[in-house]
Each structure stands twice: as structure tokens, then as C-alpha cells.
Amino acid sequence: MSWWNRSVYEQDTELAADLSYPPTASPGKQILLGLLLPCLIGVFAFRGWQNEEIIWFGEHQPDWVRGAPARWIALGYGGAALFCHFRWLWGARGFYRIFELGTILALLMILGGCGTGMVKCFL
């Protein structure tokens, strides 16, 4: 296919298709991205849940969110930690069913937590 009739969304669909398959990783990458990174994000999310104050990374500058919406956003950040854990630990080890179910649940946590948090912020 030539460049003038290529689909505009071709790169996006390839990226989404790549995320649906488990990655390959060395043991060092499994420990770093599958255990340490999720622990770091999880501690950040837990502190945000506990203090009801969390940072929302925006396009230009980060904003601090306080109160009930911060708890929802912390839930979304916890989902991001679980996504990293299931993708880079269980997916790289070859446990496909755990990888698949965990990734789906983590993405639902991200969408539900951050989406509800933003709705509660603006309403």
C-alpha cells in the first residue's frame, strides 16, 4: 500500500494490537517493571487514598486534587500499578490467562477511577 492511501489510524490500531499480547522480558526487566514500578505507583496511590490529596498530571502543569475525587483518582493510579504488574510480570512469565484477566481488570480500574474522579472534580 502506498503512502497516500494509508489509513490515518493504522499506527494506533497496531499499538492497541501490540498491547493485547504479553511482552517478552528478561528477569531484570520483570523485577524492575513487574515488581518495583508497581510498588512505587501503589505506594503513591495508597498515600493519595489515605490523605485524600493526589496529583493529577496534566498537559501543561500538574494539579493537586483534594477530597473525594482524589480517592477515585488514587483508585485509578492503583489500576495503573496493577496494569504494570500483570503485564510485565505475569505476561512476561507466560501465564496468559492471569495476564489477560488482570490487565482487563486493571484497565477497568483506571477508566473507572480516573473517569469518576474527573466527573466529581467538575460537577
Q: How far apart are CA 93 and CA 99, in angstroms?
A: 9
pLDDT beyond 60 at 2: no
Q: How far apart are CA 94 and CA 40, in angstroms?
A: 24
Cβ pair 95, 115 in contact under 8 A:
no
Q: What is the pLDDT of residue 12?
A: 67
DSSP count for the chain of H helices, then E strands: 6, 2
Work out the burial of residue 99: count CB atoms within 10 Å of its CB; fewer than 13 is exposed, 13-18 middle, 19 or more buried.
buried
Q: What is the pLDDT of residue 105?
A: 96
Q: How far apart are CA 93 and CA 101, in angstroms?
A: 15
pLDDT band (50, 70, 90) for residue 83: very high
Cβ pair 24, 47 in contact under 8 A:
no
Domain coordinates of the chain in residue numbers? Answer: 29-122
Question: Residues 93-104: pLDDT tens digits?
Answer: 989 999 999 999
